[in-house]
Amino acid sequence: MKIKSIVFSAGLISLFILAGCKEKSSDGNVSTIAEPTKTVTATALIDELAKRVLGIGLKPIPANPDELKKLTEDVNNTFTEAKIELGKKLYFDPRLSQSSLISCNTCHNLATGGVDGLEAAIGDKWTANPHYLNSPTVYNSVFNKSQFWDGRSPHLEDQAQGPMQASPEMASSKGLIEQRVISIPAYVEEFKKAYGDDVKITFELIARTIGLFERTLVTSSRFDDFLNGDSNALSAEEKEGLKLFADKGCTTCHTGINLGGGMQIFDAQGIYKYKNVGDFKGNANNMVKVPTLRNIEETAPYFHNGKIWTIKEAIQEMGKVQLNTQISDEDAAKIETFLRSLTGKKPAITYPVLPASTQKTPQPIVK
């Protein structure tokens, strides 16, 4: 889908180094020579780095489960174990597609970083996305300010409706999806358990329940531990990469909790070398959703048309296209080291056993 039984755990949960000349002492601490009355420890320097990046807009996933819940829960459809389990089953159920072959998980595979690993998504009748659009990760998508590459959906529940109906994706219809779900007694009982005996099972409620499950797909990382106060969560090399990431201006677009998820002009300072692959140009204002950098080592290929396959090339291409700067191989390697620290811990997922179809269940449409 565009844009586990889940263990819904409680975990649902410019670096300005002090001015003056510095030299490294034999015990590994950093001392100032220009200001001999001050001794700045390595820990203090790390704290300053965390303060700096927090000050320019990066934010951690909250460590406190209650604070995380405030950011992820839909106030109009609060989390319950029954809703999340039902949403997970629907997310994995291929019967929501016309062919009964394609599920949300087909394009947003939770075992492979929440993506399909293809340049352009493949859907119904083995059709490649007509705009040559890449499937963005579903992990942490709750933190995006908008959904889809053109930002046309405001939240996951709305986004979930699109791919189920789109002809090059799941190619189904509202009526067919409702018929298939309602024809399965076990699903009807699960909807009653989740929403009450008087529940009316509609396409919109099905999408809403899928979206609620997707809201739980949060992956906290060592980077979050660092911003939340653990000075030792990142290695020295990762901190150096983070400093470069900020110094180069990457945080202009890759900011907030998701290090992305907002809308920005693409080709701001140059021309993307694969600009003509596909016909996607952004929204009416030529704005494109900035992809999250979380779990980036798991989500290749990169960019809206998936034409770049390595993190290094992605860093250097964005330097030219967005920042009008040449990022050296050495600096790109350092930034990549930092970016790999954004790989987070995935929620525990058990692949669901789906309820059986009945004689009333509309058969697959494969032509």
Token match 């490649």: residue? 128
Residues 46 and 76 in one domain: no
Question: What CATH number does the domain containing 223 carry?
Answer: 1.10.760.10
Of 185, 214, 243, the one marking the end of a domain is: 214
Q: Give how many domains the chain has, as a whole number.
A: 2
The answer to whether residue 138 is domain-embedded is yes
10 Å Cβ neighbour count for 225? 18
Q: Which residues are catalytic?
A: 169
99 and 199 both lie in a single domain: yes
Are 77 and 60 found together in one domain? Answer: no
b (16+ CB within 10 A) / e for 179-213: ebbbbbeebeebbebbbeeeeebebebbbbbbbbb
In a domain, 350, yes or no: no
Q: Both 253 and 324 in a single domain? A: yes
Name every residue whose Cβ is closer than 8 Å to that of residue 6 and which is 6 or more positions away in sequence.
Answer: 84, 85, 88, 213, 216, 347, 348, 349, 350
Place of tokens 């080291």: 337
Q: Are residues 179 and 84 in the same domain?
A: yes
User: How many whole angstroms separate alpha carbon 144 and alpha carbon 214?
Assistant: 12
Instruction: Clarify whether residues 76 and 50 are in a common domain.
Output: no
Both 310 and 255 in a single domain? Answer: yes
Looking at the domain assignment, is residue 210 inside a domain? yes
Name the residue range of residue 238's domain.
41-64+219-342
**Domain assignment present for 164:** yes
Tell me whether residue 28 is in a domain. no
- DSSP string covering 207-272: HHHHHHHHTT-----HHHHHHTT-TTSS-HHHHHHHHHHHHTTGGGTS-BTTT--SEEESSSSS--
Whether residues 238 and 252 fall in one domain: yes
Examine the domain organization and report whether 223 and 273 are in the same domain.
yes
Question: Would residue 352 count as lying in a domain?
Answer: no
Beta strands in 284-361 (DSSP E): 287-289
Same domain (yes/no): 207, 252: no
Residue type, 109: N
Cis peptide before 301 (omega within 30 of 0): yes
Which domain-ending residue is among 214, 234, 265?
Answer: 214
Task: Give pLDDT tens digits along the chain (367 positions).
Answer: 444 333 333 343 333 333 333 333 333 333 333 333 344 444 555 589 999 999 999 999 999 999 999 999 999 999 999 999 999 999 999 999 999 999 999 999 999 999 999 999 999 999 999 999 999 999 999 999 999 999 999 999 999 999 999 999 999 999 999 999 999 999 999 999 999 999 999 999 999 999 999 999 999 999 999 999 999 999 999 999 999 999 999 999 999 999 999 999 998 899 999 999 999 999 999 999 999 999 999 999 999 999 999 999 999 999 999 999 999 999 999 999 999 999 999 999 999 999 999 999 999 999 8
Burial 142-162 (b: 16+ CB within 10 A, else e): bbbebbbbbbebebbbbbbbb
Q: Are residues 157 and 287 in the same domain?
A: no
